[in-house]
Amino acid sequence: MSSDKDVKTKVLSLLEDSRPDKDVKTEVLTLDAGLLEGGGQVIRNCIGLSCLLNKPVKLLNARAKRKDPGLKPQHASGLKLMQDLYQAELQGGNIGSQEIYFKPNGVNTSDTFIADTQTAGSITLLIQISLPALLFSAPPPKKKLFLPPRSKKVILKGGTTVIASPPIDFLIEVFKPIVEREFGLHFNINVVGRGYYPQGKGEVVLRVDPIVERTLKPLNLVDRGEITKVRGRVTIANKSKQIGKRMATAASEVLTEAALPELENIQFDIEINSEKINAGKGLIRLWAETSTGCIISGNDISNKKETPEEVGKNAAEKFIRNIKHGGCVDEHLQDQLIIFMALAESRSKLVSGPITLHTRTAIHFIETMSGAKFHIKKLDSSESLVNIQDNSLDWDEGMYLIECEGIGLMVSE
């Protein structure tokens, strides 16, 4: 015969099971991470939103469309960092894994975290996966005694300048000023030491001020304005200054020969910044600033397969391509703004050049997870492009307006 205590326990259990929101909170969202671009960006966006929205997620076919599918060191390190930040249950977070299960269990109240790829794995990708979650990592405020949330510090180790991901300089000089001004957030990136492939050994300290009882402002980048300044920089080893000069000269020649109307009467100079880094390693960056606060860039990294002249030429050609399309952002910044547009309040608007596969992928998965709604319209057409998975459409030409009805995420009591 059951005791009164046993009956009471059973009744409470049935009541708990009958709560209408229980299944919503605990149901695991299973996604095919191999769709569209099928790379690491899917992991970064989905795990970040899993933390922010408290949604357990299972990702299948991680990095399925890469030459070597599955997690690389920077992806595994990023997952471990997110596990620490949100005290999450993580399965499949090891290098090579193509199936990931992630269940957040609340913000870790610690102030300092460490992520070490132990390789030349990209530090910028570690920042990409963690920044949105860090912004909303403050505990709910207490109304009677409200103190500003303490900043979060993350020590990141790996590569600062590696192929196939934006260099840390891009995040500092292009991404950071745009997202801080447009969305109303604040963070700091301090480069302690640079790291190049294959040694790595770079170190960056990221400090983020979490936001409380307010939302991110909506993005409004619809007018590029006039280009007012063009800047350039080569970062090179002390013993390789001559190589850096060859990169800069080649880039300058390409810019001059292009004779772009947008750059008419604009003076530009490419500085050589020598540092104590591995000999032969280097980065060349070009960026334009406009009258409306847009920043358009292009860069390339030295490698064994190309001469310094070819590296400089590549950077200049990427820069010119981003200038020619007339949009407010370059190809790297475009997809990185998507998650913030989804989290922000109200309607965000972005005029860009050709829609990259990275951006289409970000929109697909972020819409699926967050409920934010994106709309894309080609500016020389009245047609709205709603099927971002349609590869038959010409996504590589023209200017586009990307709009998003954000969810207005907010940390509150």
The candidate with the shortest Cα–Cα distance to 321, out of 262, 241, 242, is 262
Integer CA distances (angstroms), 261 to 225, 231, 255, 256, 258, in order: 14, 17, 11, 11, 9
Q: Considering the candidates 75, 325, 358, 364, report the single residue annotated as catalytic.
A: 358
335 is in an annotated binding site: yes
pLDDT in tens, 359-412: 999 999 999 999 999 999 988 766 666 566 666 666 778 899 999 999 999 987
Q: Can 358 be counted among the known catalytic residues? A: yes
Longest dimension (CA), the chain: 93
87 among the known binding-site residues? no
Helix spans in 267-325 (H): 308-324
Q: What is the pLDDT of residues 40-50, one digit of tens each?
A: 999 999 999 99
Is 336 labeled as ligand-binding?
yes
What tokens appear for 171 in the block? Answer: 């995040």
Model confidence over 237-281: pLDDT tens digits?
777 888 899 999 999 999 999 989 999 888 888 999 887 766 567
375 is in an annotated binding site: no
Per-residue pLDDT, 18: 33
pLDDT of 219 reads 98
118 labeled part of a ligand binding site: no
Is the peptide bond preceding residue 198 cis, with omega within 30 degrees of 0? yes
pLDDT greater than 60 at residue 93 = yes
Tens of pLDDT along 61-86? 999 999 999 999 999 999 999 999 99
User: What phi and psi values does residue 257 have, to the nearest 5 degrees?
Assistant: -70, -30
How many whole angstroms separate alpha carbon 388 and alpha carbon 22?
33
pLDDT tops 80 at residue 58: yes
Domains of the chain: 227-324 (3.30.360.20), 331-405 (3.30.1340)
Bridge-based pairing of strands 384-385 and 373-378 is antiparallel
- Tell me: is residue 83 an annotated ligand-binding position: no
Instruction: Report the predicted TM-score, pTM, of the whole model to 2 decimal places.
Output: 0.90
